[in-house]
Chain A
Amino acid sequence: MRFDRDSFAEVMDSITRNRSRSLLTGFGVFWGVFMLILLAGGGKGLKQLMEKNFEGFATNTCLAFAENTTKPYKGFKKGRSWDMTYTDASRVKALVPEVDVVSPIVSFWGKTAELGEFTASCSIKGVYSNYSSIESPQLAYGRYINDMDVSAERKVCVIGKKIYNNLFPQGGDPCGETIRVDGMYYTVVGVDFNNGNISINGSADETVTMPISLVRRAYNTGEVIDLLCFTAQEGVTVSDIVPRVREIIARQHFIDPSDERAIEMMNTQLIFGIVDSLFKGINFLIWLIGLGTILAGAIGVSNIMMVSVRERTVEIGIRRAIGATPGMILSQIISESIILTLASGLAGIVFGVGVLSVVELAMTTDGILKAEFQVGFSMALLSAMLLTVLGVLAGLAPSLRAMEIKPVDAMRDE
């Protein structure tokens, strides 16, 4: 089967001869490809938008906090309130070797940070330096809380983006400035621009992060901690160690180990898993719909080619009579099918990519793209190849029928 300028001209002749029909037929394929590209791009963008929410947050993390007990245990009634303590943190660290980072948090809400005439509402979060490996800060200025800050109870803080914007409207490096929270003064040592939407005890935007030892002393919290965050070591899923952590904490506080409500465990890995499988499902649907539509389009092409072959019985008969071999007829019909499918499919790719570009443009704020919607070049290439294959398949039945046309049939048709 050779394909040169002549055969191309022949094919274009046939396709353009019935322009509106070719256009309408091609539209089926065009729409299929367009939908596939659009859906694939949309799915990708949505997933990225969703992932943005989890940005800067360790995926293998569990947060534990105290709730009232729901089961009576060792003589205690149910409904008893209890508090987690620093001891829990050190016991978990010591008794569960698979745990990587254990980081207790003490926090307060509804505070106001002040600097001169400027104020910003905020929450306070007291942390150890290792908290940065659970919710990684994106420091625009300065540094994060370090071990020295904690052990020396330095009056320093890292402020969130929103607080920074409110207190320092003129911009610039705020490190070394002193802000006031609850009548106490703290030196700003860093600005955290993390804008992930998952955050523990208040969004990072509006949080003043301080050494945990300082908060303990300033607010007199004693041994009590609000939250215990821990991550699993690499190669260990956090879900596997959650029951053991629960047991260790439960034993310490005389809580029924089977009382799951008393020690609330928020497993981010579980949430990530849910989101992940959600998008797997969405992706599957996208491909199902997209490929289905393309397939329907290709079947349309096949159908129309069938009609066209029937219509052209005489023409094909003439061609056969003056020397066209069956192979030539076969290649002509298949070429027509491929070109029709490919041309409309490529138009679909171009249009889809164009629409996705517009979407990306709309999703861009301050020159920063929120999420990538555009499909990759390999996806376009793959679609083009798929279209060629579909073109061949669509042309197969009609061309076989065309091959069966004998030159005599053309004469008889008169």
Chain B
Amino acid sequence: MLIELKDINKTYYGAQPLHVLKGVTLGIERGEFVSIMGASGSGKSTLLNILGILDNYDSGEYRIDGKLIWNLSEKEAANYRNRLIGFIFQSYNLIGFKTAVENVELPLLYQGVPRKKRRQMAMDYLERLGLKEWAGHYPSEMSGGQKQRVAIARALITKPSIILADEPTGALDSRTSVEIMELLSELNRTENMTVIVVTHESGVANFTNKIVHIKDGMIGEIEANARHDASPFGAGGIMK
């Protein structure tokens, strides 16, 4: 079991305490392609933050590859994020004043990889994603799909165990959405990469092999979706 969540609870203490996650238990095997689906306010973003070691949980147990993720110092957390998890965000979250290749090599910078090797690896990944010619361009000069692919390259470059995608198609048109989802699916198939997609779109979830429904902070139905017929994008794959 790559990811083990056991009875995770999370409460936000504001003016009114908000119990967001109410005992979430979930296991994800290595090489799975999973989506976590839920409406906004269902707690899926909180779950994603906990999965991505971006946030702490109040009680329960979260293990990656057997390692307990609990009470980590900021430095340890940063280190785990850097080496274990590749993030893909809805808004790409590329750094605007860095070129595509500089964005991709950034995680390696924090690992202390030498400059030449870093640049080489980043170029390799960009080439694999068909963006070699765009390496020297700034994010503002690229389309949404291109930007998201740069972000995917950045997520892949540290060879993480898990790819965490938070609404990866949220800002893309449906044709590009399909491209991106196919790319993730291909990564899962060919490289046996564990991919977790958080979304509220059934069309996106349909690309994954397992759909975890989350509602009001609790895990609901977990459906296998081997045939990808749960609820496809509309006719011809154009539905949003």
Contacts and interface: CB of A to CB of B under 8 A. Distances in A.
A1 to B, nearest CB: 13
Contacts of A323: 78-79, 81-83, 107, 110-111, 158
B106 A319 contact: yes
**Chain A contact residues, majority secondary structure:** helix
Interface string B37-51: 000000001000100
B74 interface: yes
A326 B74 contact: yes
B91 interface: yes
Contacts of B93: 314, 317-318, 321, 410-411
Contacts of B83: 323
Contact of A408 (B55, B79, B91, B110): B55
Contacts, number: 69
Residue among A10, A14, A325, A327 facing the most chain B CB atoms (10 A cut-off): A325
Interface residues of A, number: 26
B95 A315 contact: yes
Contacts of B110: 319, 322-325, 328
Nearest to A314: B93
B78 A324 contact: yes
A6 B117 CA distance: 13
A314 B90 CA distance: 14
Interface residues of B, number: 31
Contacts of B49: 408, 411
Interface in B76-120: 78-79, 81-83, 87, 89-91, 93-98, 106-107, 109-111, 115
B82 A322 contact: yes
B78 A411 contact: no
Interface string A251-282: 00000000000000000000000000000000
A327 B74 CA distance: 9
Contacts of B154: 322
Interface of B: 45, 49, 52, 54-55, 74-75, 78-79, 81-83, 87, 89-91, 93-98, 106-107, 109-111, 115, 154, 158, 166
25 contacts: A13-B97, A13-B98, A14-B97, A315-B95, A317-B93, A319-B95, A321-B54, A321-B93, A322-B81, A322-B106, A322-B110, A322-B154, A323-B78, A323-B79, A323-B82, A323-B110, A323-B158, A325-B78, A327-B75, A406-B54, A407-B54, A411-B49, A411-B166, A414-B90, A414-B91
Given A6-B115, A322-B87, 6 more contacts: A10-B109, A319-B95, A323-B110, A323-B111, A326-B78, A414-B91
